[in-house]
Structure 1
Amino acid sequence: MAVWSEINVSSLAEVRRFDADFFKPEYLNVDRKIKSGNFEKLGSFIATLTDYHANGSYETLKSHVSLLDNPDFAYMVRTADLEEEQFSEGVKYISEHAYEYLSKSKVFGGEILINKIGSAGKVYLMPELNRPVSLGMNLFLIRTSKEISTFFLYAYFQSFYGKKKH
């Protein structure tokens, strides 16, 4: 049985996307339910939204950052590490110079990390590792403002509505 959605062109401009998956009826129903309440937009609770590439072009990043297999100054968190909850074996490191160069993607623990590639949209809560950590190449990082708990936002992303909306 075919499933279809009817969308006004003005809706496309409002959401700034037109991929078919976004307009599945189940997603549209979730969107209507969320918009019918008196809610704040997620953006008003984000203090920082960044990724690895916020630090420069591919060319400049390549000239300043080398991934290392042996322990060095900073650990670089990757999706595979988050999936396995393994932060010490088979991981990647970067030098102190690279860590300082990647200043826009330093990770302190307690942030929300979102996969950009592969299982795009999968959400993780970064543990505190008590060492310098930098964000891997295929992740977004969200630091919340003081008005909302990071744990609450993480729980929302893991909920039915959060998974359907993001």
Structure 2
Amino acid sequence: MANGSFKSLKNNVSYFDKPNYALFIRNIDFKNNLEGNKKYIDKKSYDYLKKSHLSGGEVVISNVADVGSVHRTPFIKIPMVVGNNQIFIKSEKTFLTDYLYVYFQSFWGQHAIFSITSGSAQQKFNKTDFRSLEVPIPTKDWIRENIQPYLTLQDNIFKENVFLK
């Protein structure tokens, strides 16, 4: 999650509508395949948001409003940070991150997310409850055989679409 309170973010993070040092990647950016109006931050803001750096391949889940919206950060050549109202997951073992992306998009993963969701006016979940979720993990070989080929294909499609545009 973005580090700090809303007040500290307001005092330490500058947002820009034109390209700057890093992409401030929001849920709407994922939904628009990184097309349209994007937000950027400068180097000072990027350094302040050190807990929010993305390098590509992370699982990003909306935890407020559009709860359960699951995305995977693209592998692009610009620094990125996760935007507000999102959490991200990245394992030291890439194959586990890949699995978690597919898992949280699945019926079972969505059910797990909604089991910790609360709020009537605005749906949300907190990271403490999220950390308490029990996630079944298959074997490394199963993930490599069943998940990674799918994600490689998905990455290639994204790259091809960028190239064609």
Q: What range is the shorter-chain TM-score in?
A: 0.5 to 0.7
**SS of equivalent residue, structure 1 residue 71:** coil
Task: With a CA cutoff of 8 Å and minimum separation of 6, indicate the structure with the bigger relative contact order.
Answer: 1
Instruction: Provide the identity percentage.
Output: 36
In the alignment, is residue 102 of structure 1 matched against residue 49 of structure 2?
yes
Question: Structure 1, unaligned stretches of length 5 or more?
Answer: 1-50
- The residue correspondences of 1:29-108 to structure 2 (distance < 5 A) are 51-52=1-2, 55-87=3-35, 89-108=36-55
- Aligned CA-pair RMSD: 1.5
For 1:145 and 1:108, the matched residues in 2 are separated by: 13
For 1:73 and 1:156, the matched residues in 2 are separated by: 32
For 1:125 and 1:82, the matched residues in 2 are separated by: 8
For 2:79 and 2:94, the matched residues in 1 are separated by: 26
**Cα distance, 1:147 vs. partner?**
7.9
Q: Highest CA radius of gyration, 1 or 2?
A: 1
In the alignment, is residue 114 of structure 1 matched against residue 46 of structure 2?
no
For 2:94 and 2:59, the matched residues in 1 are separated by: 15
For 2:48 and 2:40, the matched residues in 1 are separated by: 14
For 2:73 and 2:94, the matched residues in 1 are separated by: 19
- The residue correspondences of 1:21-32 to structure 2 (distance < 5 A) are none
What is the TM-score with the length of structure 2 in the denominator? Answer: 0.64
**Cα distance, 1:58 vs. partner?**
2.0
Q: Deviations over 1:33-86 (max 9, x none)?
A: xxxxxxxxxxxxxxxxxx01xx22222211111211011111100000001112
My pick for the range that moved more, 90-99 or 122-131, is: 122-131
What is the TM-score with the length of structure 1 in the denominator? Answer: 0.63
**Cα distance, 1:148 vs. partner?**
4.6
Show structure 1 runs of 4+ deviating over 6 A: none
For 1:71 and 1:62, the matched residues in 2 are separated by: 20
Aligned residue number for residue 96 of structure 2? 149
- From 79, 86, 97, the equivalent of 1:139 is 86
Between the two proteins, the alignment pairs up a number of residues equal to 113
